[in-house]
Amino acid sequence: MLMNTVRTRIAPSPTGQDLHIGNAYTALINYVFAVSHGGQFLIRIEDTDRTRFVEGSEQRILESLKWLGITHAEGPDVGGPFAPYRQSERLELYKKYAEELVDMGHAYYCFCTADRLSKMRKDQEANHKPPMYDKKCRANSKQQTANSIKNGEKYVIRLNVPDEGVTTFHDEIRGDISFENKLIDDQVLLKSDGYPTYHLGVVVDDHLMEISHIIRGEEWISSTPKHILLYQFFGWTPPVFAHMPLLRNPDKSKLSKRKNPVWVGDYKAKGFLPEAILNYLATMAWAHPEGKEIFSVLEMVRVLDLKSIQTTAPIFDVEKLRWMNGEYIRQTTDDTLVHLITDFLSSRPLSRDPGILDSRLRGNDKKNKEMVLKILPLIRERMKTLAEYESLAGFFFARPKEFERPLKVAPLKVGGIALQSCEWNHDAMEAAIRLEAEKAGMKAKDVFMELRVAVTGKTVGPPLLESLEILGKEETLMRLSL
């Protein structure tokens, strides 16, 4: 392996709806580390779990990475010198290497049935023993093994873990980690259907694809000694390992779709910006050396150090992400933000009851963009996601069908009288409304509120008089039914 070149990877499994936000977090660190060292970041699809395979998942994973801006030099969609990049297309390789391990005495054929393994585990559980294979088939002679294969008995190939000694590896984030060999299971390497388990596939592929650094979640720490043994048995130099802490919900529970959206596509559909998502993920277990909260991936490339990554499980707080997304929205230029809003709203799938902006913005024409541009100054400070544009500004495009509370006729009538006769600018409208309210013996704030509810349908929203200027006198008076 050419260890002088930094090569990192992620190896997602196409078993879900999309790219998990935790995998996006890991992908970001792998990508930034590779770029910061002038190396390559690649994607390998680990699709050997056929029972959980989801059609279309691979494509959605690749699309989400592209949307986030995490680009790869090699992968199933772009090819590369170590193709193929799908494990299901590399089965002969795994079989070859598994049989090599058997020949060297570092692996063995196991013919135990599912029923026997189930009973074994139940007995271990009853006796408070760790659930590990009892090595029964390791004692089989070569002749017994050959006869069983000849008779067509189903088998798997298991790792032959030494009974004594300690396996140690160095973690760039956590330091040296050791495991007693007697506590390491004789892991299945090749399943009876000819597909590898994660452990064989990942070691063979990482070696053949010349991966120099494996940066992955801490859930794989307990598997790493098995991988180290495989590297030793094959006579290969192991890569550098770094295990990232797992993301947690605010209540410290493991990140799961029961409590928060977990797919990148969910956040895209809710109107989050890819730059904000990456920025937030970057702050999960690592802090910018200058104490910055808002920074680009390019800045991260300049200063990332794996050794500065914390081991404490970081909290993924959607509200904090919303705040950061709002900061990015405020930093975005008007022209770019108009483009983002109109694209977001017009690209949503039409429902049976389309949103109030759908009919106006689906065409995405110049007139609509000009309208969005006029409205932006009134709502930019309030927006935290692109999706909030509709709730904040929808009344500009369609009259409200519902009101947060019943309209009060008296103050509404006073406001209508004031607006009918005044010039259509902020100062003139404000003066006229205050004057009519005083004449009627009412508080001006009550008149303003009634006008807001009648025009927007809501009690809270963008500045009222500036909104009326954009809406126009004719449309405003129509909404007041005057």
- The answer to whether residues 34 and 40 touch, using CB atoms and an 8 Å cutoff, is yes
Helices 334-347 and 366-379: crossing angle in degrees, nearest 10, is 110
Q: Is 103 exposed, middle or buried (0-12, 13-18, 19+ CB in 10 A)?
A: exposed
What does the DSSP 8-state code read for residue 348? S
Write down the residue that tokens 């970041």 correspond to.
Answer: 41
- The answer to whether residues 68 and 274 touch, using CB atoms and an 8 Å cutoff, is yes
CA separation for the pair 65, 24 (Å, rounded)? 7
- The answer to whether residues 127 and 119 touch, using CB atoms and an 8 Å cutoff, is no
CA separation for the pair 72, 65 (Å, rounded)? 9
Q: What amino acid is encoded at 89 in this protein?
A: E
- The answer to whether residues 101 and 157 touch, using CB atoms and an 8 Å cutoff, is yes
CA separation for the pair 148, 145 (Å, rounded)? 5
Question: For the stretch 291-311, what's the b/e string if a residue is b when 16 or more beta carbons lie within 10 angstroms of its beta carbon?
Answer: eeeebebebbeeebebeebee
CA separation for the pair 150, 259 (Å, rounded)? 52
Backbone dihedral angles phi then psi of residue 356, each to the nearest 5 degrees:
-65, -20
- 3 state DSSP class of 263: strand
CA separation for the pair 376, 306 (Å, rounded)? 41
Q: Please report, for residues 101, 255, 258, 260, 363, the alpha-carbon distance to residue 318 in angstroms, rounded to integers and kept in the order given.
A: 47, 11, 14, 8, 32
- The answer to whether residues 158 and 197 touch, using CB atoms and an 8 Å cutoff, is no
The catalytic residue positions are 257
Q: Please report, for residues 244, 247, 254, 320, the alpha-carbon distance to residue 250 in angstroms, rounded to integers and kept in the order given.
A: 18, 10, 9, 11
Q: Please report, for residues 316, 407, 449, 464, the alpha-carbon distance to residue 443 in angstroms, rounded to integers and kept in the order given.
A: 46, 16, 10, 16
- The answer to whether residues 296 and 274 touch, using CB atoms and an 8 Å cutoff, is no
Contacts of 333 (CB under 8 A, 6+ apart): none
